[in-house]
Structure 1
Amino acid sequence: MSEDVKSPGLFSQPRAFSIIFFLEIWERWGYYGLQSVLAVFFVKSLGMSDAESFVVFGAFSSMVYGFVAIGGYVGDKVLGTQRTVILGALTLMIGYVLMAIAGANKQIVFAALAFVAVGCGLFKANPGSLMSKMYAQDDSRLDGAFTLYYMAVNIGSFFSMLFVPIIGGKYGLSVGFYLCAIGLILAIVTFVFFRHLLKGVDSPVGLQPLNYTKFAVVIASLAVLIAASTWMLSNLTVAHWILFFVVVTVFLIIFKEIFKSQGIERSKMIVAVVLMAEAVVFFTLFQQVFTSLNFFAIKNVEHVFLGMEVQNPEVFQSLSPFWVLAVSPVLAFLYNYYGNQGRDLSMPAKFATGMSFCAASFLILAAAARYFANSEALVSPWWLVLAYLLISIGELLISGLGLSMISKLMPQHMIGFTMGAYFLTTAISGVTGGWVATLTAAPQGVTDPVQTLSIYSQVFLQIGGMSAAAAALMFLGVASLRRMIHGDGDVSSTEMSENA
């Protein structure tokens, strides 16, 4: 680690943290700008039904995160972390430009989405991998750093989820997609001009001169993967089976490493796998932000907010990153404050608490739909504001700390690969979340708010109840997982209570 990396900088983090912070803002600007309008684009521009749009959206999301393990491997073992970041950003930019010129041509749309999925796969794991190399595993700033990192994600997503639907609605979605591409141009420029801050921070292969043969193999492999992904978006059953085999292969590799390890290292790796399984449940719920909750806002929420008419109800999705931005600094402060005193919540306790908030958000929406709708079967947008606040707190406690969890629990030589595996939990949830969203889809041609409200009320109640049950099970396992993390063979009930 260079002296430059050790120097304090943004929010008492290493100076190199600032480049990751701004890089993530612009990359997420592009991705969430696309994601905020994609399901609606499928319906309005490609003529899909609600249910079909949810399934295709879920398949695309699963590809995005299913490829992250590949990007982690390329960054760790083939090109180096920093080079992989640049290659991923360039691939993403091409995808957004293709979306802008695709119009209603389904095959060009699917090709564009394939570029985006592969580009995200290359990019996503590597900024977090760079961050993990800036800190010792016992550094008390780590949870705060990853919370601020997640704050950067939500700065980019908030503004893109606010402006892309508005500008796209006024000037056409092609203009909105060009805005996504501009975000990636700014990400590349930011990284190139300030890359000196990351001197010496890379995977071992990244510190060596570029191997052009390996680079050529990577480019050829990407071309094949993009072509295959384009085809799979039209053949979703095959895509789901491929995802299944990828997930099984990746986790078999992790289990192999677990069996090779010993002592507390093995225990920590087992806890990491358990928490990744818990994350699958959360990400299935969070997937609803872009599917069922988005369509609920369009169909059964009043389109007047703070005295202003909301012409593009897709912008209600921006409440999620808005609340993350508002709550992130508070949680970052609390993590650092209690962490310095040795009284911070354990990672399993944070995950369980996050799931509780998630459950509450869906139960509140179910109650609003059942008891507080007006005569036109519309609910106040303030219920959506509250629900998004709760699910965003859950997001910070689970998704926002997922990468920090990997950095703390996995051995250094496995971090990049395991971060990719962690994103596979989101890939699995892309499929399961799309399926859950179809439960809220009204029959073809049904637009009566009274009928759709009844469907949303019932499904949200079921989701909330199952989420609450999952949270209860997670709380029951907190003490055991905490003992495994710390290697405590004998922890008293008082100690467990104080350190949960």
Structure 2
Amino acid sequence: MEHPKGFYMLSSATMLESFSYFVFAVILVLYMTDVLHFTDSFSTYFFGIAYGMTYLFQIVGGYLSDRYLGNRKVVLIGIILIAIAQLIFTYDASPYHISANMANHSTFLYTNQEILFLIAVIVMSIGVSFFTVSITSFISLFYKEDSKLVDSAFSIFYLFRNIGGFLAPVVVSSVVGIHDPKLYQYGFLYGFIAIIACLILFLAFKNKTFVSVDGKPLGVTPSFKLQKENKQKSSAKLSRSEISNLKAIAIILMAVIVFLMFSQQIFTTIILFAKQHVNNILPIINSQISPSLYVSINPLFIIILTPIYLKLFHKLSEKNMAVNTYTKIGIGLLLTGIAFLVLFIATHDLNANTKINMV
């Protein structure tokens, strides 16, 4: 069975939003160290807070969506907030002649440019949170009557998301170049253009394609109101199966938290390490690349391997050899651990003046 047109519209919108967010994520640490002159440790610490806020505010966005506003409005609010943040970043990056020191930051004494930067980060985190939490729950609305398509739908959805994640570092690297403070504003500008394109796409197609099979609009009415209209009552006491499901979710959440702690270092520790200790010269063509380009490797492999994984898992299911979610997560954690072991071996006894091969 084919997926509805509205699903592809949402996936295209999230691809553009992903491009805009990855521009922000790829540039952020380098912008803080190259332009704002924050220390490496402060920059990575600050990125961790900014990234954590994108998950914290999802609680707020999810509550507003389910209780009061509905998916459409919260997605729209998220897009608008991201656009505002990217515009502030673009303006903030234009007067690049700043000189700052760590003492100012540790005592919370910031310049006007730095204050504007902090505001933009908060607005971006809220915007990304609102968009992400609402867009993912929006997708499930298309498949209430055909739950078999949900798994493949989310795989395709994240494929679109990673296309945006792959393109962003490539574009940023070509636009910003190798740590030129004067060019960071253009990187943020590309992020602004992408999210405006996302806004136009969403507004143009939301009434035409975001509808159910019987033509009813999706994502307009909050789910809480729908439950009241359908007279759905939730029991005050959890059943055994519900308790079992909550335990499973808790285990998965712990695994995901561990995975994110390490995988998201690609935006911080690994970029800074590549900047200082990796010989970023492409062989044969003898051309230097920006450390931010390494971020594109992860989404590239997701784009390449997702169709293969989908076919493989489908074949295994047909042979009654289905791979459960726990096994998939376990394999992901194992491979992440191996990756960091390889990095540990490569960087063992590394001194300040040594540069390792990019391989």
Bin for the TM-score computed over the shorter chain = 0.7 to 0.9
Q: 1:342 to 1:140 in 2, by over 3 A?
A: farther
Q: 1:288 aligns with which of 259, 265, 270?
A: 265
Q: 1:84 aligns with which of 74, 92, 102?
A: 74
Q: Is the Cα contact below 8 Å between 1:166 and 1:315 reproduced in 2?
A: no
Per the TM alignment, residue 341 of structure 1 is displaced from its structure 2 partner at its CA by 4.9
Q: 1:330 aligns with which of 308, 311, 324?
A: 308
Output the amino acid matched with 2:202: F
Q: 1:310 maps to what in 2? A: 288
Q: Is the Cα contact below 8 Å between 2:69 and 2:221 reproduced in 1?
A: no
Output the amino acid matched with 1:274: I
Say which SS state the counterpart of residue 48 (structure 1) adopts.
coil
Q: 1:37 maps to what in 2? A: 27
Q: 2:297 aligns with which of 316, 319, 326?
A: 319
Identity, % of aligned pairs? Answer: 21
Report the more deviating stretch, 306-315 or 81-90: 306-315
Per the TM alignment, residue 326 of structure 1 is displaced from its structure 2 partner at its CA by 1.3
Q: Is the Cα contact below 8 Å between 1:158 and 1:319 reproduced in 2?
A: yes
Q: Is the Cα contact below 8 Å between 2:282 and 2:289 reproduced in 1?
A: no
Report the more deviating stretch, 15-24 or 33-42: 15-24
Structure 2 counterparts to residues 428-467 of structure 1, below 5 A: none
CA RMSD of aligned residues (A): 2.5
| Structure 1 residue 20 corresponds to structure 2 residue 37 | no
Q: Which has the higher helix share?
A: 1
Per the TM alignment, residue 119 of structure 1 is displaced from its structure 2 partner at its CA by 0.7
Per the TM alignment, residue 157 of structure 1 is displaced from its structure 2 partner at its CA by 1.2
Q: Is the Cα contact below 8 Å between 2:166 and 2:297 reproduced in 1?
A: yes
Per the TM alignment, residue 126 of structure 1 is displaced from its structure 2 partner at its CA by 1.0
Distance in 1 of aligned mates of 2:220 and 2:248:
25
| Structure 1 residue 271 corresponds to structure 2 residue 232 | no
Per the TM alignment, residue 138 of structure 1 is displaced from its structure 2 partner at its CA by 8.0
Q: 1:340 to 1:192 in 2, by over 3 A?
A: farther
Q: Is the Cα contact below 8 Å between 1:143 and 1:335 reproduced in 2?
A: no
Say which SS state the counterpart of residue 5 (structure 2) adopts.
coil
Q: 1:205 maps to what in 2? A: 222
Per the TM alignment, residue 59 of structure 1 is displaced from its structure 2 partner at its CA by 1.0
Distance in 2 of aligned mates of 1:375 and 1:86:
47
Per the TM alignment, residue 19 of structure 1 is displaced from its structure 2 partner at its CA by 1.1
Q: Deviations over 1:296-325 (max 9, x none)?
A: 211222211243422422211211111111
Q: 1:351 to 1:203 in 2, by over 3 A?
A: farther
Q: Is the Cα contact below 8 Å between 2:66 and 2:224 reproduced in 1?
A: no
Structure 1's unaligned 5+ residue stretches are 1-7, 209-256, 383-500
Per the TM alignment, residue 363 of structure 1 is displaced from its structure 2 partner at its CA by 0.9
Q: 2:276 aligns with which of 299, 307, 314?
A: 299
Q: 1:116 aligns with which of 116, 124, 132?
A: 124
Q: 2:229 maps to what in 1? A: none
Distance in 1 of aligned mates of 2:49 and 2:33:
16
Output the amino acid matched with 1:34: F
Output the amino acid matched with 1:116: M
Q: Deviations over 1:356-384 (max 9, x none)?
A: 0110111112222339x8997322222xx
Distance in 2 of aligned mates of 1:191 and 1:41:
30
TM-score normalised according to structure 2 size: 0.83
Q: 2:199 maps to what in 1? A: 188
Q: 2:84 aligns with which of 94, 113, 116?
A: 94
Q: Deviations over 1:32-67 (max 9, x none)?
A: 101101111111111111101111111111112210
Distance in 2 of aligned mates of 1:175 and 1:370:
37
Say which SS state the counterpart of residue 307 (structure 1) adopts.
coil
Per the TM alignment, residue 340 of structure 1 is displaced from its structure 2 partner at its CA by 4.8
Q: Is the Cα contact below 8 Å between 1:143 and 1:332 reproduced in 2?
A: no
Output the amino acid matched with 2:275: I
Q: 1:375 to 1:115 in 2, by over 3 A?
A: closer
Distance in 1 of aligned mates of 2:70 and 2:334:
39
Q: 1:150 to 1:341 in 2, by over 3 A?
A: same
TM-score normalised according to structure 1 size: 0.60
Q: Is the Cα contact below 8 Å between 2:163 and 2:299 reproduced in 1?
A: yes
Q: 1:258 to 1:121 in 2, by over 3 A?
A: farther
Per the TM alignment, residue 265 of structure 1 is displaced from its structure 2 partner at its CA by 2.8
| Structure 1 residue 349 corresponds to structure 2 residue 327 | yes
Distance in 1 of aligned mates of 2:186 and 2:306:
31
Q: Is the Cα contact below 8 Å between 2:20 and 2:195 reproduced in 1?
A: yes
Distance in 2 of aligned mates of 1:183 and 1:94:
12
Q: 1:25 to 1:321 in 2, by over 3 A?
A: same
